[in-house]
């Protein structure tokens, strides 16, 4: 019997005085609670959870039934060490045992109290979704059917199918141990040497049994904690049954090549937040069973009330846009979170525009820090869906009214820790002006004009980076040209 799988736990019981204890975890209840003591004949707490004992099979049956009812869980008996559990008789010349912190009870059922006892029997109840203990018999039966069919003169197509068990190898279970204890022969646990006491106590126990002493019969019970199951338990335990029967109402989702899925709030209809939370928990369970790795949950701005409930189920923020927020959760527990972070850089463009006289177009921004309103090339941020060539032509036109034709990318610079701690790329593009008359944008530009390159390089109102870019342009005979290809722009260095 696998006793080392059992953990301490908690439940709700109907007590003998008619009162009830209803808790999610037993550890939340004080060990010295008089109400709790009425549920078991005695309660034990060794830091690993609460256990206790009953004195009859009727009490044991009532205890397990109350536990199942209060936790919405089910257990089935799978093994007993001997027959007649609960009614096992004492054998002559028994071997008394002593619970200790190291050598007696791996399942954590019996207390460390120094009282000698005689072990009679043990029993285990598996969770209803525990291991399939008949899998070998099923495989053997199937192999036998195949063998017999092969021996037929005319083998026929096998139509029988072994029914799959509703098992997902949940490790939790209930363990009970039937013992007879002899408190009057208790060993002093504070003594430096207990070996002599144990031998003397053991001899006394054997003598007492020979004289008809039946001791105190007890059935010690260890109940599992709710959070030790590998499936949903508690108020939504029926989810497991519904999933097995295919009754779960799954959210609509799209899949990706990495075994991830994306769900959008626009495809979900729930009357209440509580209903949504229950359905989300059901879906998460099913996704885990299906081997889904990453879940991307897109919540529209109009559905923002769902964010708090989604966060309660282990989702974190990934990124946000003006009309939605994306939340994510990594489901596998046996591999690190591999969900990629959101875009971590900005892209800007600047236009080096020349007119027919060889002058360059420069601007001063309306919004600039005091003392930092310098002459610079027009430009701005690349919008979503724009190519560099499109963005720089648009920005120059918006800021100065100058229509241009894109020629090439001259260079780009990169910097870290830009806006919101992200990186920034700035591409300088060579443009050819199509008109001469400047019309500065009144909401963005303080001044704009055509300027000779020599004046630009010698001016105290030009930043060092802009000067360096112009020097590189004068000295470098190469440029990065672009060629459209399908939905892409391909850039290459050419003379």
Contact 86, 60 (CB under 8 A): yes
What tokens were used for 105? 């009870």
Q: What whole-number distance in Å separates Cα of residue 7 and Cα of residue 245?
A: 30
Q: What whole-number distance in Å separates Cα of residue 173 and Cα of residue 186?
A: 31
The CA dihedral of 191, 192, 196, 202, to the nearest 10 degrees, is: 50
User: What SS3 string covers 238-258?
Assistant: HHHHHHHCCCCCCCCCEECCC
Q: Is 461 a catalytic residue?
A: no
Q: What whole-number distance in Å separates Cα of residue 196 and Cα of residue 117?
A: 17
Q: What whole-number distance in Å separates Cα of residue 96 and Cα of residue 57?
A: 23
Contact 160, 121 (CB under 8 A): no
Considering the candidates 398, 399, 405, 489, report the single residue annotated as catalytic.
Answer: 398
Neighbours of 257 (CB within 10 A): 5
The CA dihedral of 400, 404, 409, 412, to the nearest 10 degrees, is: 10
Number of helices (H), then strands (E), in the chain:
10, 22
* Distance between start and end Cα atoms, the chain: 80
Q: What whole-number distance in Å separates Cα of residue 295 and Cα of residue 318?
A: 11
Closest CA to 208 of 117, 72, 81, 74: 117
DSSP structure string for 100-151: -TTTS-TTS-S--S--EEEEEEEEEEEETTS--TTHHHHHHHHHHHHHHHHT
What tokens were used for 485? 């290809």
Length of the chain: 495
The CA dihedral of 66, 70, 71, 72, to the nearest 10 degrees, is: 90
Q: What is the DSSP letter of 82?
A: S
With b meaning 16 or more CB within 10 Å and e meaning fewer, what string describes 278-300? bbbbbbbbbbeeeebbbbbbbbe
Strand pairing class (316-320; 261-264): unpaired
DSSP structure string for 256-308: -TTS-EEEEGGG---SSHHHHHHHHHHHHHHHHHHT--EEEEEEEGGGGGGHH
Catalytically active residues are 398
């Amino acid at each position: 019997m696998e006793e080392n799988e059992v953990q301490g736990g908690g439940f709700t019981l109907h007590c003998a005085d008619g009162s009830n204890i209803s808790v999610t975890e037993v550890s939340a209840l004080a060990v010295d609670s008089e109400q709790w003591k009425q549920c078991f004949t005695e309660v034990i707490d060794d830091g690993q959870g609460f256990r206790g004992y009953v004195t009859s099979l009727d009490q044991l049956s009532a205890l397990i039934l109350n536990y199942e009812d209060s936790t919405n869980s089910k257990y089935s008996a799978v093994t007993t060490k001997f027959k007649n559990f609960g009614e096992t008789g004492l054998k002559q010349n028994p071997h008394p045992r002593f619970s200790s912190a190291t050598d007696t009870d791996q399942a954590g059922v019996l207390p460390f109290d120094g009282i000698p006892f005689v072990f009679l029997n043990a029993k285990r109840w598996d969770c209803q979704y525990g291991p399939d203990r008949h899998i070998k018999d099923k495989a053997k039966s199937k192999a036998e059917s195949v063998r017999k069919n092969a021996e037929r003169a005319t083998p026929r197509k096998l139509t029988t199918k072994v029914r799959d068990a509703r098992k997902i190898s949940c490790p939790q279970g209930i363990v009970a141990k039937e013992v007879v204890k002899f408190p009057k022969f208790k060993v002093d646990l504070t003594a430096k040497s207990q070996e002599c006491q144990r031998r003397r106590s053991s001899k006394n126990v054997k003598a007492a049994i020979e004289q008809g002493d039946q001791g105190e019969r007890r059935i010690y019970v260890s109940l599992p904690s709710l959070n030790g199951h590998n499936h949903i338990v508690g108020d939504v335990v029926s989810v497991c049954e519904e999933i097995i029967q295919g009754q779960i109402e799954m959210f609509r989702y799209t899949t990706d090549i990495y075994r991830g899925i994306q769900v959008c709030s626009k495809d979900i209809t729930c009357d209440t937040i509580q209903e949504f939370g229950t359905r989300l928990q059901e879906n998460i369970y099913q996704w885990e069973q299906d081997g889904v790795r990453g879940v991307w949950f897109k919540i529209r701005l109009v559905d923002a009330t769902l964010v708090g409930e989604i966060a309660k189920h282990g989702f974190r923020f990934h990124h946000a846009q003006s009309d939605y927020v994306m939340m994510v959760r990594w489901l596998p527990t046996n591999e690190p979170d591999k969900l990629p972070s959101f875009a971590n850089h900005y892209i800007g463009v600047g236009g080096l525009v020349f007119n027919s006289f060889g002058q360059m177009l420069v601007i001063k921004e309306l919004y600039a820090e005091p003392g930092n309103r310098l002459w610079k090339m027009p430009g701005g941020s690349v919008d979503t869906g724009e190519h560099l060539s499109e963005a720089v032509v648009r920005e120059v036109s918006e800021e100065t009214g100058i229509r241009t034709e894109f020629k090439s990318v001259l260079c780009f610079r990169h910097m870290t820790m830009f806006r919101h701690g992200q990186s920034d790329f700035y591409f300088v593009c060579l443009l050819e002006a199509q008109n001469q008359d400047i019309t500065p944008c009144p909401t963005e530009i303080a001044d704009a004009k055509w300027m000779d390159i020599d004046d630009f390089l010698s001016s105290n109102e030009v930043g060092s980076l802009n000067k360096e870019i112009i020097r590189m342009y004068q000295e470098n005979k190469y440029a990065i040209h672009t060629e459209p290809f399908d939905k892409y722009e391909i850039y290459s260095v050419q003379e």
